[in-house]
Structure formats: structure tokens, C-alpha cells
Amino acid sequence: MTDAVIDGRTTPQAGVGREGMLGPYGSRLLHGWYATGGAADLDEHLRRYGPPPFPRTADAADRLVRAVEDAGLTGRGGAAFPTGRKLRTVAAGKGTAVVVANGMESEPASRKDETLLDLAPHLVLDGAALAAAAVGADVAHLCLPRTRRDQARALREAVEERRRPGLDPVPVLVHELPHHYVSSEETSLVRWLNGGDARPLATPPRPFEKGVGRRPTLIDNVETLAHLALIARYGPGWFRGAGRPDAAGTTLVTLSGALRTPGVYEVPMGRPLGEVLDIAGGAAEPLGSVLLGGFFGSWLPAGGALRVPFAKQDLAALGAGPGAGVIVALPARACGLAEAARVLGYLAAQSARQCGPCRLGLPAVAADFADLAWGRPGSESLWRLEDRAGLLAGRGACRHPDGASRFAATALRVFADDVRHHLSFGPCAAAGDEPVLPVPDAPAPDEREWR
């Protein structure tokens, strides 16, 4: 088996796939889909990309970790944490490591992980097994939401398909977890895999120190692992052939809202937001704002935001981040306050109800916001809302309250004109319109629904 990374060579390994490695529009992960319009089975996958180059020695494992570091790959699940650093920490941990592939995708405005797992399941499985080999893990767990029965079945079949030729060096187990907003948290996965609820745990210890079975646990988003699978084959230089030096590679995005052709796309990091939206056909009507990062994200005014590069550094300056690649385009005609109020109501209901500030603070903020959107609020209720939202950040075991706080604060800033209008005249005409941002009609999870 040829092996670009492991042998330290820069030439990519053989395989019909190399030729078209960069598919139409620079696609890498979605290349197969552009080529065939369907999901890739194992044969097709191996024809396109060649077999995954598993490291067979400790040195080779270390070289794979270094390749991921040099590639500058960052987590595609929302945190954008350097993947190589995480691999190195887990590899150096005490005891045999465990790998967890996070395919939960609890973010309601995101579809990219589901899409990737449908279209290129073997790229994700390659990545999980390669990551396991890199950190010396003896098992990899793939976590999916219980709501996607068919996908879990397809993934189990894919794992079985790989088991027959003995492709993977470690067993890969597919799990179906409860589908709640905070069930995709790293500590929720660990807790569930250890036999408990899919609810966050207090930290420390962090999963990379003591996670599944109290062992060092590497938890990576499924898209991150798919990129890793290609870096292992083609090397860091190849990976950096797309994107920018400080924001390398491509990323999957879920584009929705007032766009001509909403959907999941693969784009190079660092493109201006406006160009990213153009891939989905551009705005279908005049835009007022964009929501970056979904329900866990930030609102930005459309005007300035469209010129900002889609990269952690540039977005951080605006108090935003690439998140999990979710971008929602809100038309200027929509009532941002009503849109935000619905989301905050959902986030409040999705609290795991373990921490006082989240259990009590989130519903209070959501109620204040609903009053602002549809009631007859006075300015003192706006101040109270700002105070309460400001107090949420950093006061939960997980980042759920931080996300809600940022979501509320950026909404109040970006929709300041609407706020003034609602305070003076009550709800605007658009406050009663059909929502642009679909909010799941999920009731608060029952105590027994977390296992």
C-alpha cells in the first residue's frame, strides 16, 4: 500500500481517484457526489481515493499526527479547535485511547453531517479508523441521532462491508443516541457511552483526559475525520491547496433562508460570505441580516457581513465564528425579533435542566424576548432582558447558556431598529409572518428521554 504521509513522500498515492481529487468547484468530500449523483459504496470509494494508509508503527502514527498539525485542520463541528493538537494530547494521555466520531448534528439549521454520512460514509469511517490508529485507540464509536434510523442501518452495513476484507485495524461501533440539542456535546456523548444520559457533564475532567471508560478520548466531528482521511492520503501540502494559510482546506456549509438554491455545499475556507452565498444561487430577495453558526451562532447585518472572509480570525473580530458552517440569510422584510424569539424558546426548552442559571435563566430570557417580539414591552423590560442574557454566559456546565446569550445579544444589536419600532408601536406587521428560520417543534425532553 503506498502511503504519502506515512512514507514522508510528497507525491500522492496512486489510485484513479487522484486525478479527480479536486472535483467540480474544488470539491473534495463531495467529489463523489458531483461525479455520480449518488452515495459512494466501498468499491467506488476505494477506486476514487485508494485505500486508507493506516500507520503500522508508533513512528508512522506520529507522522500522521504531524501531518494533521501541518495541514492546519481545525474542527468542523463548531469549535474550530486545531485537530492535530487534540490528536497529540490524546495520544500522549494515560491509558489506551478511545475515538468518538460525532455525527449527532443537533443544530437544527445544519444538514452537512447527515449529507456527508449519506454520500461519503467510507470517508468518515476511514477518518475514524485512521484517527484511532494515530492516537493508539482500540475502538472507535460513531454516534448518530436516533431520529436517523435508515442512516444508522446504512452505516452499520458500511462497517460490515469493511470488516470482511479486514480494512479497519480497530472495531467501529455505530450508536443511536437521543436527539436533543445538547446531546451532541462532547461530555453528553461520553456520559451516554458510559451508560448514562446523553446530557452534559461538569468538567474537569475533560474527555481528552478521562472520557469513555475513563480513558483518554478523542471526539471529532465526522466532517473533521473525513478531512483527516484525505490528509493521511495526500498530505498537508495538498490540504493547504485550498483555503488560506491561516484557514486551510475546504469546509462543508449548510446554506438556507432567502437563497435561490439552498443546500449543503463544499467551499474553500476564507471566501467572503457573499461569495459563499453565491454558490447557493445568491440572495433570492434583498437581505437584511445573516445568522452565522445557526442556533448556537451570531447575527450579523447583511451589508458588512457579506464582505467578511469565512474564517475564524476574520469572523472573531465581529464576535462570530464559522460554527458548523451554518449560514442562514434573513430577508430584509422579515421580523428578526420574531425569528430570534422562536429560536430562544427552542433553546430554553432544550436545556438539560441540570444547572440553575440555564434551567431558570434561559426560559426567562426567552419569555422576555417573546414579549419584545409579540407583546407590548416597556424599555425597562428591554434592560432586564439585556441583563439576564448577559448573565447567562459562562454559568453552565456546558456552553448552552453561552450560545443562547450570544444569540440574544447579537439579535438585539442587529435588529436594533426593530427593537425601537416594537417598543414604540408594538409588534410590526412581519412579526406574524411565516418563519424564515425553521424551528423544530420539539417539546422539552422528558426526564426519561435522555437515555
Partner 1 sequence: MAGTYSLGIDRIACDGYGLCAELLPERIELDEWGYPVVASAPLAGDALRHARRAVAACPALALRLDRATERVPDRQPAQRT
Residues that bind ligand SF4 (CB under 6 A): 182, 200, 351-355, 358-359, 396-398, 400-401
- Among 76, 434, 411, smallest CA distance to 264 is for 76
Task: Single out the segment in contact with partner 1 by CB under 8 A; choices: 21-29, 35-43, 99-107, 419-427.
Answer: 99-107
Distance from C-alpha of 25 to C-alpha of 39, rounded to nearest angstrom: 19
**DSSP result, 160-179:** HHHHTTT--SS-EEEEEE--
- The interface mask with partner 1, positions 308-347, x = CB under 8 A, is -------------x-xx-----------------------
Residue 81 lies near partner 1 (rule: CB under 8 A): yes
The radius of gyration of the chain from alpha carbons, rounded to an integer in Å, stands at: 22
CB of 78 to partner 1, least distance (A): 4
Q: Choose the one of partner 1, ligand SF4, none that binds residue 318, judging by a C-beta under 5 to 8 angstroms depending on kind.
A: none
Residue 107 lies near partner 1 (rule: CB under 8 A): yes
Identify the sign of the CA torsion 221, 109, 332, 392: negative
Residue 375 lies near partner 1 (rule: CB under 8 A): no
Single out the residue of 42, 360, 423, 439 in contact with partner 1 (rule: CB under 8 A): 360
Residue 294 lies near partner 1 (rule: CB under 8 A): yes
CB of 355 to partner 1, least distance (A): 4
CA 329 vs CA 286, 404, 421: distances in Å: 10, 19, 22
Single out the residue of 296, 310, 369, 407 in contact with partner 1 (rule: CB under 8 A): 296
Residue 256 lies near partner 1 (rule: CB under 8 A): no
CB 189 within 8 A of CB 175: no
Reply yes or no: is the peptide bond before residue 435 cis, omega within 30 of 0. no
Task: Single out the segment in contact with partner 1 by CB under 8 A; choices: 44-52, 163-171, 237-245, 350-358.
Answer: 350-358
Single out the residue of 141, 312, 399, 422 in contact with partner 1 (rule: CB under 8 A): 399
For residue 202, count other CB atoms closer than 10 A to its CB. Answer: 11
* Pick 240 or 353: Cβ nearer ligand SF4: 353
3-state secondary structure 235-280: HHHHHCCCEECCEECEEEEEEEECECCCEEEEEECCCEHHHHHHHC
Q: Are strands 298-301 and 287-292 parallel, antiparallel or unpaired?
A: antiparallel
Distance from C-alpha of 351 to C-alpha of 117, rounded to nearest angstrom: 27
* Pick 344 or 428: Cβ nearer partner 1: 344
CB of 397 to ligand SF4, least distance (A): 4
The size of the chain, in residues, is 451
Q: Choose the one of partner 1, ligand SF4, none that binds residue 294, judging by a C-beta under 5 to 8 angstroms depending on kind.
A: partner 1
Residue 368 lies near partner 1 (rule: CB under 8 A): no
Residue 232 sits at φ, ψ, to 5 deg, of -60, -35
* Pick 103 or 396: Cβ nearer ligand SF4: 396
Residue 269 sits at φ, ψ, to 5 deg, of -60, 150
How many residues make contact with partner 1 (CB under 8 A)?
A: 51
* Pick 102 or 115: Cβ nearer ligand SF4: 102
For cell 490528536, the residue is: 87
By CB under 8 A, name the binding residues for partner 1.
75-79, 81, 89, 102, 104-107, 110, 112-113, 182, 184-186, 201-204, 206, 219, 221, 223, 293-296, 321, 323-324, 354-358, 360-361, 391, 394-400, 402-403
